[in-house]
């Protein structure tokens, strides 16, 4: 049984790793040219982003139905390997539960005849088993310590990976990805902030958990569709989600605040020279840091108490249109009093837009 668990776990693990998520073809454009207005353009891939696709900085490609980039498989979880990745998250805890049962029963049976209870103490004799015939494999102190350590690993893996499996099943049963769940939350925040009276309906939820489940898991192991065109629920548009993404991009540009660098920053993860609080409160994320030179302009979109995230304003012609986005220490910048493009105070303009 343990060999069966091992084979199934490794098969799905390597399938998720080597099959990959599926990438949007380089230079891809929709069949109807007028549909380009609903899509974002990726300057790195030189193509439009298909519905439900996102650009991964690690893979350096636009990934079809991207859920997240997983460092444990060194690949993205997306359209083609979502089922294999989820099965791996299911089988790993089941195998660990089986192993935990074996460890517990082994320690129980080995210690049962070695424990003696006194009036005020409990003694364990680990020298040898008090039974005949002697066990083929001796169970000494080192074996007990190793079994106890392995039991802790098995239980820890069961809890950690099991929670990831539950999270994945929640998004699969609603036919979403982790990124799309985040987009939906931001859509609700945008509508509430501007009081537009809109109602955002996620277009890819088929209205049935079983239908959503079949979008990912099939008997052939090949997911439905081609990763570019997706069935939508009644009353929704093929590009409903991408239109909402464009609205959020425009809203982010409106809400962004311009800052100017007053100190140099090398881009290291934990800068020692920027203060103790900045050092110990570095963002726990895979998002990059951007190096700053005194006088650089940055559009900040979000921030923490001692860190901010934004995009450096570059000369598009000189830098080939490459965008530099990432985290930087808050103490390295100061807020610009006036927007150089409109010559108006940034705070007074932000709400009016």
Structural domains of the chain, ranges and CATH numbers in brackets = 1-21+78-119+138-255 (no CATH), 256-335 (2.30.30.40)
| pLDDT in 10s for each residue of the chain, 353 residues | 889 999 999 999 999 999 999 999 999 999 888 989 999 999 888 899 999 999 998 899 999 999 999 999 999 999 999 999 999 999 999 999 999 999 898 888 777 766 655 556 656 655 555 555 565 666 777 888 888 999 999 999 999 999 999 999 999 999 999 999 999 998 988 888 888 888 888 999 988 999 999 999 988 888 888 889 898 888 888 898 999 999 988 888 888 899 999 999 998 988 988 989 999 999 988 888 999 999 999 999 888 999 999 998 876 544 555 678 899 999 999 998 755 444 444 444 444 43
The dihedral sign for the CA sequence 222, 226, 228, 231: negative
Q: Count Cβ atoms below 10 Å from residue 336 Cβ, excluding itself.
A: 15
The dihedral sign for the CA sequence 48, 314, 244, 185: positive
| Spatial separation of the C-alpha atoms in residues 133 and 87, rounded to whole Å | 43
Amino acid 149: pLDDT: 93
* Active site (annotated) includes residue 70: yes
8 A C-beta contact, residue 299 and residue 310: yes
DSSP secondary structure letter of residue 118: -
Amino acid 119: pLDDT: 57
Q: Count Cβ atoms below 10 Å from residue 88 Cβ, excluding itself.
A: 26
What count of Cα atoms within 13 Å lies in the side-chain half-sphere of residue 12?
A: 18
Q: Count Cβ atoms below 10 Å from residue 218 Cβ, excluding itself.
A: 12
Q: What are the strands, taking DSSP E only, across 110-263?
A: 115-117, 122-124, 257-261
| Spatial separation of the C-alpha atoms in residues 233 and 226, rounded to whole Å | 18
Active-site residue, from 70, 77, 96, 332 = 70
């Amino acid at each position: 049984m343990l060999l069966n668990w091992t084979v199934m776990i490794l098969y799905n693990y390597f399938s998720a790793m080597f099959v990959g998520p599926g990438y949007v073809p380089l230079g891809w454009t929709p069949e109807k040219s007028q549909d380009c207005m609903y899509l974002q353009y990726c300057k790195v891939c030189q193509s439009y982003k298909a519905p439900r696709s996102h650009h991964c900085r690690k893979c350096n490609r636009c990934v079809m139905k991207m859920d997240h980039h997983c460092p444990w498989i060194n690949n993205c979880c997306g359209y083609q390997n979502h089922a294999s990745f989820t099965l791996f998250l299911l089988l790993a805890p089941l195998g660990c539960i089986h192993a935990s049962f074996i460890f517990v029963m082994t320690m129980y049976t080995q210690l049962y005849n070695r424990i003696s209870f006194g009036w005020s103490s409990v003694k364990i004799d680990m020298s040898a088993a008090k039974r005949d015939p002697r066990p083929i494999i001796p169970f000494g102190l080192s074996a007990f310590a190793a079994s106890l350590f392995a039991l802790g690993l098995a239980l820890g893996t069961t809890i950690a990976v099991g929670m990831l499996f539950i999270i994945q099943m929640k998004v699969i049963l609603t036919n979403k990805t982790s990124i799309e769940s985040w987009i939906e939350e931001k859509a609700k925040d945008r509508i509430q902030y501007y009081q537009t009276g809109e109602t955002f309906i996620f277009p890819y939820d088929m209205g049935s958990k079983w239908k959503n489940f079949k979008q990912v898991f099939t008997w052939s192991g090949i997911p439905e569709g081609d990763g570019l065109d997706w069935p939508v629920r009644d009353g929704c548009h093929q590009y409903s989600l991408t239109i909402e993404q464009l609205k959020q991009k425009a809203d982010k540009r409106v809400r962004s605040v311009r800052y100017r660098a007053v100190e140099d920053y090398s881009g290291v993860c934990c800068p020692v020279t920027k203060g103790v609080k900045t050092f110990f409160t570095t963002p726990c994320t895979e998002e990059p840091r951007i190096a700053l030179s005194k006088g650089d302009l940055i559009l900040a979109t979000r921030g923490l108490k001692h860190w901010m995230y934004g995009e450096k304003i570059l000369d598009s012609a000189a830098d080939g249109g490459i965008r530099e986005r990432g985290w930087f220490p808050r103490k390295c910048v100061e807020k610009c009093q006036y927007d150089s493009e409109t010559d108006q105070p940034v705070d007074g303009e932000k709400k009016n837009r």
